[in-house]
Amino acid sequence: MTSSTTTGTPILTVQVQRLLDCASTCSADNACLVFGYSNVTSICQGYSQLQTYNGITLIFNLGSTERIFKNDQSCSRAGFDFVQKGRVCVRLFTSGYNWDDAKDRCESYNGRLIVIDTRQKLEGISEYLAGIGHGSDELWIGANDKVNEDTWMWLDGQTVDQSYWDDVILNNVDQKDLWAFNADCGRIQDSALSDDSCDVSQGYVCERTDIV
Ligand SMILES: [Ca+2]
Ligand SMILES: [Ca+2]
Ligand SMILES: [Ca+2]
């Protein structure tokens, strides 16, 4: 039987005596964010990412002998910060990009533009951004109403619940061209959700859901 996982290509493969040895091997390698160990073959493999689908981590065909573990320091090793409230692994990028490019850039870090789908996560993110002096920035997040005007969707396919935001200003008004009525991308600023033209260049917030 072939053992395949959705963890991607291993960045390290070694045979070690115990699970703990595998953990320390992964720990010693800065790129190692998750690791798998088989009691049967004693094979230890380290990976730089886990694959996720709709926020669910996928681990296939591991059988009963191999287990996958996340390195406790995964989030910080990946260059992100772990926020306890809402349990989010987040990174702020202050350099300006349009929404599509910001989305691509998050993906290039094995993440996504942040999906803020609970009040707790909103509070965690808002406190985090305020704590690093960027609470009042206008920052792209993973919400848009590109497909159907006024139907706001998160990147993972959920509908945006507008009930728990401090303020919601989804007026389809482009801040630079007030008559354009073409604002389809979502941003956060001071715990409020607002929209602007997707072409606007601004900072953005990425998250990694695979290593929380
Ligand atoms: Ca539109
Ligand atoms: Ca607007
Ligand atoms: Ca719109």
Domains in the chain: ranges and CATH: 12-72 (3.50.4.10), 77-208 (3.10.100.10)
**Nearest ligand by distance to the CA of 196:** 2
**Nearest ligand by distance to the CA of 146:** 1
User: If you measure from the C-alpha of residue 6 to the centroid of ligand 3, how many angstroms do you get, rounded to a whole number?
Assistant: 36
List residues, by chain if needed, whose CB lies under 5 Å from ion ligand 2: 171, 173, 183, 195
**Nearest ligand by distance to the CA of 152:** 3
**Nearest ligand by distance to the CA of 170:** 2
User: If you measure from the C-alpha of residue 129 to the centroid of ligand 1, how many angstroms do you get, rounded to a whole number?
Assistant: 28
User: If you measure from the C-alpha of residue 141 to the centroid of ligand 2, how many angstroms do you get, rounded to a whole number?
Assistant: 14
User: If you measure from the C-alpha of residue 149 to the centroid of ligand 2, how many angstroms do you get, rounded to a whole number?
Assistant: 13
User: If you measure from the C-alpha of residue 132 to the centroid of ligand 2, how many angstroms do you get, rounded to a whole number?
Assistant: 25
User: If you measure from the C-alpha of residue 28 to the centroid of ligand 2, how many angstroms do you get, rounded to a whole number?
Assistant: 47
User: What are the DSSP calls for the chain, one per residue?
Assistant: -----SS-S-SEEEE-SSHHHHHHHHHTSTT--EEEEETTT-EEEEES---EETTEEP--S-TTTEEEEE-TTHHHHTT-EEETTTTEEEEEEEEEE-HHHHHHHHHHTT-EE----SHHHHHHHHHHHHHTT-TTS-EEEEEE-SSSTT--EETTSPBPP-SSSSEEE-----SS-TT-----EEEEETTEEEEE-TT--EEEEEEESS--
Q: What is the pLDDT along the chain (212 residues), one digit of tens a residue?
A: 333 345 567 889 999 999 889 989 988 888 888 888 888 888 888 888 765 544 444 444 445 455 667 677 788 888 999 999 999 999 999 999 999 999 999 999 989 999 999 999 999 999 999 999 999 999 999 999 999 999 999 999 999 999 999 999 999 999 888 788 899 999 999 999 999 999 999 999 999 987 77
User: If you measure from the C-alpha of residue 159 to the centroid of ligand 1, how many angstroms do you get, rounded to a whole number?
Assistant: 16
**pTM of the complete model:** 0.77
